[in-house]
Amino acid sequence: MFTLPSIWNRLITTIVFIWIAKRARAFLDNQGLPKGTTLSLLVFTLASLLSWGSGEAVDWTEAKIQGKPQTASQSTEEGIAQLLEVLNQVRSATQTKQSIY
């Protein structure tokens, strides 16, 4: 089930991405790689993978400390049934308003 990342995940991954991108670009420049699209793609890919890994580590640590996040206990069919019920109520309320005017 998809869950939104925590604020710690966002913060750590952003810091790691920026730090790795700067360090990787400086290292590769010192190695003599020519500047261009290939270098930029390599730096972006490396920084993305390492920041994703750090985000997974943050999520794993949070899960160990706080326990697993709660997910919805409803099945999809129950959720769809409730959604249709609400939509029917809205539709009937709208039709009632239109008949008044």
pLDDT tens sequence across 44-87: 999 999 999 999 999 888 888 887 655 555 567 777 888 788 88
Q: b/e string for 39-71 if b means 16 or more Cβ within 10 A?
A: eeeebeebbeebbeebbeebbeebeeeeeeeee
Distance CA 63, CA 69 (A): 7
CA distances from 59 to 4, 5, 6, 47, 62 (A): 11, 8, 8, 18, 5
The reply to whether the predicted model has a pTM over 0.75 is no
Domain ranges across the chain: 7-68
